[in-house]
């Protein structure tokens, strides 16, 4: 199935197929799995500006850890963490901001503060109202396949089935097709072997006709294979992204924008992508 030609996100236009886009990660939670949570608003703003300077195409900010077993964060605390950052940075760096949250009330205030994309790793299952919000605000939304709490044998088939259902629900809620971005949900309820299989077979998600976001950066399956040190995780992340791009990833979500931007540029060149977008 053919991808939509383009998706508008704030003042940016993402033209799919020309190159791989880079989404930089800003964690405003103190218990981030990767250990990169920003301790202050100033440090988060400085990091975001650095990412923009390094070539990030979008910045994804979250105020609640998504690691397995992380405690729930009340909406009020999540808002306290993310809204000052979005308010301060959204009109400052010329890069669109995505809000990483499962709570529509947080997403709404983030959009009103200047964010222009929603990234809900729950697959919009925590609150189906997230789909209606994305439709009402007419913003792109990342639709994630999340298998936490499930036992899954045929993982790629399960991911495709779940994402097909999710895009159908999004369409029924009024989300325009060009505003749907799909994410196979690396690390969310998958084993090490299943995560590896998803990257290897990522091209099979093309049947859904949506841009694919790949988020492997520093995740535990990389540590299990490549080693747990920062440098080992970085090199393992780079390998997973190169393979993922060769299999059709359109956006990669990363902690280290400067180095992973180079991986994207080289992978795109090998794949014959023009660099437009």
Please list, residue by residue across 139-172, b when 16 or more beta carbons sit within 10 angstroms of its beta carbon and e when fewer do. bbbbbbbbbeeeebeebbebbbebbeebbebbee
Q: Is 9 among the domain residues?
A: no
pLDDT of residue 62: 94
pLDDT in tens, 69-103: 656 789 999 999 999 999 999 888 999 999 999 99
Q: Six-digit token pair at 276?
A: 């437009």
Q: Is 116 among the domain residues?
A: yes
Active-site option among 47, 81, 190, 253:
253
- Quote the number of domains for the chain: 1
pTM of the predicted model over 0.75: yes
Q: Is 139 among the domain residues?
A: yes
pLDDT of residue 73: 87
- What CATH number is attached to the domain comprising 83? 3.20.20.20
Q: Is 8 among the domain residues?
A: no
Tell me the C-alpha distance between 169 and 34, whole Å: 32
Q: Is 228 among the domain residues?
A: yes
Q: Which residues pair with 142 in a beta bridge?
A: 119, 181
pLDDT in tens, 175-231: 999 999 999 999 999 999 999 999 999 999 999 999 999 999 999 999 999 999 999
Q: Is 201 among the domain residues?
A: yes
Q: Is 54 among the domain residues?
A: yes
- Annotated catalytic, 265? no
Query: What is the average pLDDT across 28-43?
Result: 68
Query: Are 41 and 4 contacting, i.e. CB atoms less than 8 angstroms apart?
Result: no
- Annotated catalytic, 67? no
pLDDT of residue 69: 61
Q: Which domain holds residue 58?
A: 20-271
Active-site option among 81, 103, 210, 219:
219
Q: Is 153 among the domain residues?
A: yes
């Amino acid at each position: 199935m053919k991808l939509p030609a383009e998706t508008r996100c704030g003042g940016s236009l993402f033209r799919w197929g020309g190159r791989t886009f880079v989404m930089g990660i800003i964690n405003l939670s103190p218990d981030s799995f990767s250990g990169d949570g920003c301790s202050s608003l100033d440090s988060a703003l400085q990091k975001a500006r650095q990412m923009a300077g390094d070539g990030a195409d979008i910045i994804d900010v979250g105020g609640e850890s998504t690691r397995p077993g992380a405690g729930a964060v009340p909406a009020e605390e999540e808002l306290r963490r993310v809204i000052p950052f979005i308010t301060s940075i959204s009109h400052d760096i010329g890069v669109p901001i995505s809000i990483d949250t499962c709570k529509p009330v947080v997403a709404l205030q983030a959009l009103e503060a200047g964010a222009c994309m929603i990234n809900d790793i729950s697959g919009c299952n925590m609150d189906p109202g997230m789909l209606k919000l994305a439709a009402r605000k007419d913003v792109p939304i990342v639709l994630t396949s999340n298998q936490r709490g499930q036992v899954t044998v045929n993982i790629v088939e399960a991911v495709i089935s779940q994402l097909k259902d999710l895009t159908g629900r999004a369409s029924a809620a009024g989300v325009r097709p060009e505003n749907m971005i799909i994410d196979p949900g690396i690390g969310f309820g998958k084993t090490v072997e299943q995560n590896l299989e998803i990257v290897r077979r990522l091209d099979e998600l093309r049947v859904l006709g949506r841009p694919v976001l790949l988020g492997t950066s520093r995740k535990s399956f990389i540590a299990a294979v490549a080693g747990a040190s920062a440098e080992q995780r970085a090199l393992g992340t780079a390998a997973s992204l190169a393979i993922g791009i060769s299999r059709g990833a359109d956006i990669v979500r990363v902690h280290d924008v400067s180095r992973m931007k180079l991986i994207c540029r080289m992978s795109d060149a090998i794949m014959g992508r023009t660099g437009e977008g």
